[in-house]
Structure 1
Amino acid sequence: MQQTISHFENAAQKGRALRDETKAMIASVKAETRKFQQSHTGKATWQVINSVGSYVALWAIMYFTVQVSWLLTLPFALVAAGVLVRVFIISHDCGHSSFFQSERWNTIIGVITGLLTFTSYHHWRGEHAVHHGTCSNLDRRGTGDVWTMTVSEYKAASRWKKFGYRFVRNPIVLLVIAPLFLFLVLERFPRKNAPRKEVLATRWTNVALAAMVASMCWVFGTSTFLLLQLGIVSVAMGAGVWLFYVQHQFEDTYWAKNADWDFGVAALEGSSFCKLPKILQWFSGNIGFHHIHHLAPRVPNYHLESCHKAIEAVGAKAREVTLWEGIKALRLQLWDEATSQLISFRQARVAYF
């Protein structure tokens, strides 16, 4: 046990030194990102065509193949799930007003892509803005993030709260049940204290979704459409939640109390550089360059990789997480304030319980 604690303490000291270095270079790095914050109408339009267009084309292919055999349809449904993740990233960028130069077109495309991903664009944009302003802040958890408890909070929690937390952090719940509940149920209701425009937009989104589902059921047949759509959104939303998880939940991530919290450090050290294979990078719309995105949210996804490569200091500070490391990160569940690390239940039990 003493050896484990010593390892944690050494890692914590190293982490604090790195954060001091990060604070010293934030201002210059943010200035360098400005040239990448310019939206490009041509690139944005082409991305809409190759993403939304591909998704529509895949549904057309599934319409014809499902009449022959489900075995022919399933591979196209899997690809459609990957494309749907990319479609969501377009909506995400529109919500940051970074995708198009025109705010009008950001809203139009954001609403359309939101419908395809069963998301209320205005509702999600409001919650996501809170996420960016509170990410890695221990005193402002609870909106747009993954439920994260500290070791001390978990130790002091009731038996039922501990059970609930372990249930929510279970990978099956986190990647299968929770995504469907989040996008298919919670997205149907406006957030607490939402402005009237957001409330109305959420209601109109629900009406539009009902019309879209009814139309697709008429074309495909109710059972066929629902089985295909549920399969597609299950894979897409599970992958999306995993991406969101690994972007902030990794061993040497950053969390701090409000008094010590720093936006720049939260961006570069509380957000990962999820290094994915090129094909997955395409499907995920470059969102793996999440450290850049949090440092400069106005950089559109089609400029994220260039920004990362161009700014040497950012590349050096990036918390690189590979695909395999991202999968292993699912075992990390508790924030240890003493060592400034995210640790597993097992590690917490050995060191503290």
Structure 2
Amino acid sequence: MTAANDASPPSSAGPGARPGPSRALPAWPRRRLAALRRFEAPSAARAAWQLANTLLPYLGALALMVVTLRRGLPWWTTALLGVLASGFMVRLFILFHDCVHASFLPSDRAGRVVGRILGVLVFTPFGEWRRSHLGHHATSGDLDRRDLGDVWTMTVEEYAAAPRRKRFSYRVTRHPALMLLVGPLLVFLVNNRFPPRGGTRARVLSVLSTDLALAAIATAASLTIGLGTFLLVQIPVLFLAGVWGIWLFYVQHQFERAYWVRGEVWDPLQAALAGSSYFKLPRVLQWFSGNIGLHHVHHLRPRIPNYHLQRCLDATPELQAVRPLTLAGSLRCGRLALWDERAGDFVGFDAVPRPSAAPAGS
């Protein structure tokens, strides 16, 4: 899931800015990199099993939430089921994400069909998100190309030179509480419902077809269980899944000693290995998040389906050598706000130089 600010264009560096240092990683022989292609082969059987063990429990949890509401059972029973359903919704998004990369199923056509259906269930238009997300993969870590599918990121110099209104907007966007409390419904319930300005016919149709499908679901629900019950079930689940999804997306590229450089020195291999986190989660959370925490593996080989990512990691010592980000350690990422090009690291707002005081009598 993404909390990307696609409308925020990248800013050029200020006077005197230079490319920040990157974490030097050893170059891979081409044959080693090419050898990872064996993990890219999709499996129809594995994909079908993942759809069964994710979609059916997700729908079952929603149905049980409806039952608890109608029978007036204690609120915590509905809440617990909502937490469980949100976990399955996050996993559905990862399956949708694999369809975007055409890695989930052997058939591209079947993958697109499944992707569009899953896109409705996760409130995200398949075609429009595909364009944004593939753009993210092509530009991740490039300070000169931050306009597609990324969390809005400014450098220290850009922030210091920005007008007050832009600095305020940036602070609001980057504040963890607002990002996680407002962001989920703003992104999935509001932003994803509107076609992009000046978008192609295909992009507009992608958004409108998803909106129409969601409207049909809401209409059917209002005629059966009632619109109020539907909203009491779906909105909290969407919110909780959005919180977890946005945090996952955030820490995948916004962490200490990440990789952000100017375009002239940007390297896709370094961007994958040094600029994408190895988010090592407890097994149950890794399952619900569809192995997406192995994000350095995913960015190195985006065509590897989620069900082969762990095997690829286990078979590749170079990928295991990347320092993992733990769940507890990820909490420190919330204070990171600006990229310091000179230090080559993320810093907080307190690192921005304060304007020097005016001389007395001036």
Fold agreement, TM-score > 0.5: yes
Give the secondary structure class of the aligned counterpart of 1:140.
coil
Q: Compute the RMSD of aligned alpha carbons.
A: 1.9
Which deviates more from structure 2 when the two are superposed, residues 198-207 or residues 265-274?
A: 198-207
Confirm whether residue 260 of structure 1 aligns to residue 261 of structure 2: no
For 1:219, the equivalent position in structure 2 comes to: 224
In 2, the alpha carbon distance for the partners of 1:111 and 1:202 equals: 11
Asked if structure 1 preserves the Cα contact closer than 8 Å seen for 2:313 and 2:320, the reply is yes
Deviation at 1:309, TM superposition (A): 1.1
Matched residue type, 1:200? L
For 2:334, the equivalent position in structure 1 comes to: 330
In 1, the alpha carbon distance for the partners of 2:81 and 2:331 equals: 25
Confirm whether residue 108 of structure 1 aligns to residue 109 of structure 2: no
Matched residue type, 1:289? L
For 1:141, the equivalent position in structure 2 comes to: 146
Give the secondary structure class of the aligned counterpart of 1:172.
helix
Higher helix share: 1
Structure 2, unaligned stretches of length 5 or more? 1-18, 358-362
In 1, the alpha carbon distance for the partners of 2:133 and 2:29 equals: 23
In 1, the alpha carbon distance for the partners of 2:206 and 2:298 equals: 26
In 1, the alpha carbon distance for the partners of 2:76 and 2:342 equals: 52
For 2:38, the equivalent position in structure 1 comes to: 35
User: Following superposition of structure 1 onto structure 2, how do residues 125-140 of structure 1 map, counting pairs within 5 Å?
Assistant: 125-140=130-145
TM-score (norm 1): 0.91
User: Following superposition of structure 1 onto structure 2, how do residues 158-307 of structure 1 map, counting pairs within 5 Å?
Assistant: 158-307=163-312
For 1:321, the equivalent position in structure 2 comes to: 325
Asked if structure 2 preserves the Cα contact closer than 8 Å seen for 1:271 and 1:319, the reply is no
Cα 1:26–1:143, aligned 2, differ >3 Å: closer, same or farther? Answer: farther
1:295-339: CA deviation from partner (whole Å, max 9, x where unpaired): 1100000001111111111111x2411001112201100100001
Which of the numbers 53, 69, 74 marks the counterpart of 1:50? Answer: 53
Asked if structure 1 preserves the Cα contact closer than 8 Å seen for 2:218 and 2:227, the reply is no
The ranges of structure 1 where at least 4 consecutive aligned residues each deviate by more than 4 angstroms after the TM superposition are none
In 1, the alpha carbon distance for the partners of 2:279 and 2:32 equals: 20
Deviation at 1:341, TM superposition (A): 0.2
Deviation at 1:213, TM superposition (A): 1.4
Q: Percent of aligned positions with the same letter in both sequences?
A: 43
Which deviates more from structure 2 when the two are superposed, residues 227-236 or residues 340-349?
A: 340-349
Matched residue type, 2:36? T
TM-score (norm 2): 0.89
Confirm whether residue 121 of structure 1 aligns to residue 122 of structure 2: no
Asked if structure 1 preserves the Cα contact closer than 8 Å seen for 2:292 and 2:306, the reply is yes
Structure 1, unaligned stretches of length 5 or more? 1-11
Asked if structure 2 preserves the Cα contact closer than 8 Å seen for 1:217 and 1:226, the reply is no
Asked if structure 1 preserves the Cα contact closer than 8 Å seen for 2:66 and 2:233, the reply is no
Cα 1:50–1:219, aligned 2, differ >3 Å: closer, same or farther? Answer: same
Matched residue type, 1:244? F
Cα 1:194–1:129, aligned 2, differ >3 Å: closer, same or farther? Answer: farther
Number of paired residues? 336
Deviation at 1:107, TM superposition (A): 1.0
User: Following superposition of structure 1 onto structure 2, how do residues 67-86 of structure 1 map, counting pairs within 5 Å?
Assistant: 67-68=70-71, 69=73, 70-86=75-91
In 2, the alpha carbon distance for the partners of 1:165 and 1:26 equals: 41
